[in-house]
Amino acid sequence: VPNDGIMRIDSFTLKNLEIFKSLSDNNNGTLIHCIDNTITPMGSRLLKDHIKKPLTDKNKINLRLSVVEELVENKKINISIREQLKMIVDIPRISGKISTNKFNPRDLLNLSNSLDSIFLIKDIIFKKLTKNKKIFKSLSDTKNLSKVIKKYINIDSPVNIKNGSVINKGVSKD
């Protein structure tokens, strides 16, 4: 087992502790059912991943706790971030659709709007949080990609690309 500061919990243990699935047919009594108050599917998956692979490195644990503490102490910031999170669609799902060429124009527009929300969240963090900013420095700049999508894709695009009116006027003669 590599010593990377992460504990692996086997599926037998997860099952018997009823972390994700109850031994009975009712999943209301599972740990995840009790604690998952996430807003996005991505957040829910991340929470589940953190539970499956808890940290063992004291410094990483304390950093995570410090971030949570700061957000709990600053309710206005927490509420602002949560409001932006509500605007974010399931980005990995859209990325999967794009990578398999099964996306539609609305997926791109939803991705663009989600990237705008991520930019606003990053802005809130860097302007209003007093500590723990370094944990968020690796967030990519999403504003440029969002601008490109909005520049080329018509905001009133139909779901089906075959219906036309997908690309904004003036982008290309074709």
Q: How do residues 132-158 score in pLDDT, each as one tens digit? A: 777 777 777 788 899 999 999 999 888
Q: What percent of the chain has pLDDT over 90?
A: 57
pLDDT reported for residue 150 = 94
Please report the beta strands in 70-159, taking only residues with DSSP state E, as ranges in sequence order: none
pLDDT surpasses 80 at 70: yes
pLDDT at 47 over 90: yes
pTM: 0.81
Which amino acid appears at position 146 of this protein?
A: S
- The CA dihedral of 82, 88, 93, 94, to the nearest 10 degrees, is -170
Strand intervals (E) in the chain: none
Q: In the predicted model, what is the mean pLDDT of residues 13-39?
A: 88
Please give the Cα distance from 118 to 143 (Å, whole number). Answer: 9
**HSE (side-chain half, CA atoms, 13 Å) at 112:** 18
